[in-house]
Amino acid sequence: MTTSLTDVATSNVTLRSFLHGLPGVDRVGADQRAAMLGTRSIKTTAKAQAIDLAIGMVDLTTLEGADTPGKVRAMCAKAVHPDPADPSVPKVAAVCVYPDMVAGAAAALKGSGVKVASVATAFPSGRSSLDVKIADTAFAVAAGADEIDMVIDRGAFLAGDYLKVFEEIVAIKAACGTAHLKVILETGELSTYDNVRRASWLAMLAGGDFIKTSTGKVQPAATLPVTLIMLEAVRDFLAVTGRKVGVKPAGGIKTTKDAIKMLVLVNETVGDGWLSPDWFRLGASSVLNDLLMQRQKMATGRYAGPDYFTLD
């Protein structure tokens, strides 16, 4: 790639020619490679390590209209001590809540080392004015969010108005201040793998610290091939610009097997430089219990049951 990236975003035309100039994604090849990597068998000590790593990467999420302060408090307690009966379980990376729940989560997690992430920008649809989105972000940051998960304007992206999407991300990044910005592409609505690659680059060019697959409200969510394409994008972006960007698949990761497949994908695509919570996260809620059950099975030798873990 010989283009200088400094003036790519000067106009819609330059941005479009750059994004459409990215090499196309071989859909069959991507599906096949993801499926092949999904067959890797991770057992015994490697599995135990992978489970602990995955637990440390979880962004424990509750994004329901029915969220109450009590539920958020309970989830924060679980984030710090996923299994109260077993202190050797690592804490999760972050909890992810709606902006009005951030203050309560920040208070509950004070000093624990678990970060508070907040969705913002008219999540999950992103259908509002830029002013509202900036105010939403500023509100979450003021309440104590360490990380902001924004959604791109898929309507503008699909209509080809890349500059609007770009400038929106830049504006939200500015509103974040010191908070990290995760950019949700909502890959389930982008319809092609080529668009996933373009949206990934667009988000990284605009200054996103993380690119995230989905809101979790749209199916399909974090599939393996889509995550693979995004990982390839951050790898190529690092090679071209020298800036490292994180990846967060979210939605549809339900089992330990799903989580370990993701870790294999990371290791085989971008190497172990990304195998830490600083650079890779798993947006999930139900997967944590499954990870704990697998962990217990490895410790005790008997299959665990959901009756012995908290309901979220």
Partner 1 sequence: MTKAEKPGRARAGKQSGGQTTRRADASVDAAAPAASGETAVESVDPVESADGGSGVGETAPARERAARLAVRKTYKLYIGGAFPRSESGRSYAVASSRGDFLANASRASRKDARDAVTAARKAFGGWSGATAYNRGQILYRVAEMLEGRRAQFTAELAEAGTKRAGEVVDAAVDRLVWYAGWSDKIAAVAGSTNPVAGPYFNVSSPEPTGVVAVVAPDEPLLGLVSVIAPVIVTGNTCVVIASERAPLPSITLAEVLATSDLPGGVVNILTGSAAEIAPWLAAHMDVNALDLTGVTDEGLAVACEEAAAENLKRVFRPAATDWSADPGTRRLTAFLETKTVWHPTGV
Which positions lie near partner 1, rule CB under 8 A?
301-308
Q: How far is the CB of 300 from partner 1 (least distance, A)?
A: 8
Q: Which is nearer to partner 1, 88 or 300 (CB)?
A: 300
117 - beta bridge partners?
A: 96, 147
Which position among 149, 209, 258, 290 bears the catalytic label? 149
Q: Check if 312 is active-site.
A: no
Q: How far is the CB of 253 from partner 1 (least distance, A)?
A: 18
Q: How far is the CB of 292 from partner 1 (least distance, A)?
A: 12
Q: Which is nearer to partner 1, 16 or 297 (CB)?
A: 297
Q: What number of helices (H) and strands (E) belong to the chain?
A: 12, 8
Q: Which is nearer to partner 1, 113 or 301 (CB)?
A: 301
Pairing of β 180-184 and β 147-151? parallel
Interatomic CA distance for residues 44 and 42, integer angstroms: 7
Which position among 91, 182, 212, 261 bears the catalytic label? 212
Give just the sign of the alpha carbon dihedral 282, 288, 293, 296. positive
Q: Check if 248 is active-site.
A: yes
Q: Check if 212 is active-site.
A: yes
Q: How far is the CB of 302 from partner 1 (least distance, A)?
A: 4
Q: Which is nearer to partner 1, 121 or 296 (CB)?
A: 296
Q: Residue 254: exposed, middle, or buried by beta-carbon count in 10 A (0-12, 13-18, 19+)?
A: middle
Interatomic CA distance for residues 187 and 22, integer angstroms: 17
Residue of 305, 257, 310, 263 whose CA lies nearest to 285: 310
Which position among 78, 91, 248, 261 bears the catalytic label? 248
| Residues designated as active site | 149, 212, 248
